[in-house]
Amino acid sequence: MESTTESTASSSIIALKYGFIHGIVCFLYTVIVDLMGWSFEFQEFIGWVSLIGFFVLIFIFSILCLFEFRSSNGGYISYGESLGLTTLLGALFGLINGGFNYIYLKFINIEYLSKNIEIAKDRFKDQSISKSNLNQIEHLLIFINKPGFQFFLLLLFYFVITFLLGLIVSAIVKREKPIFD
């Protein structure tokens, strides 16, 4: 029973370490994309590259975290431990990245959201949408672009995506203890 408690504590510490590092890396990635001006270009190619980049970062940090946990536990990790650890990692990714994003949008780059809303409104105006629908879209854009709502979306996104990716990664990384050892 004691080894389970020690294992859980070390898994939490390992997940916290990699969650914090990943949150900082993704936040810096987001700031770089913003500073390069790519966030307002709305090019499909940049969107796909950014999405693939985030998936690769999630995959890499999940693998690193699971390998460190496995090596600290005698080279063994079960599928359930691995999936639980990646799920915890996803929650930490979302909390840390969402927290940094909230601070960035609320206090550092305040005009980002209003600029984003204006660009989106201009794009919708070009599509000849009626004025009443445009007003509804504008209210929705204002709600979606609030830093608090974006924090919630990042938390949910990372939790779900890391869990789903964890299903695959856990199957790859798992190494069960032999039964008769």
26-82 confidence digits (pLDDT tens): 888 878 877 877 666 666 677 778 788 888 989 999 999 999 999 988 888 999 999
Q: What is the DSSP string of 39-104?
A: GGT--HHHHHHHHHHHHHHHHHHHHHHHHHHHHHTTT-B-HHHHHHHHHHHHHHHHHHHHHHHHHI
CA dihedral defined by 23, 29, 31, 35, rounded to 10 degrees? 180
45: CB partners within 8 A, 6+ apart: none
Q: What is the pLDDT of residues 14-24, one digit of tens each?
A: 988 998 898 88
pTM over 0.85: no
Question: How far is Cα of residue 175 from the mean position of the Cα atoms in its chain?
Answer: 26
Per-residue burial over 53-77, b if 16 or more Cβ lie within 10 Å, else e, is ebeeebeebbebbbebbbeebeeeb
Alpha-carbon gap, residue 105 to 139, rounded angstroms = 19
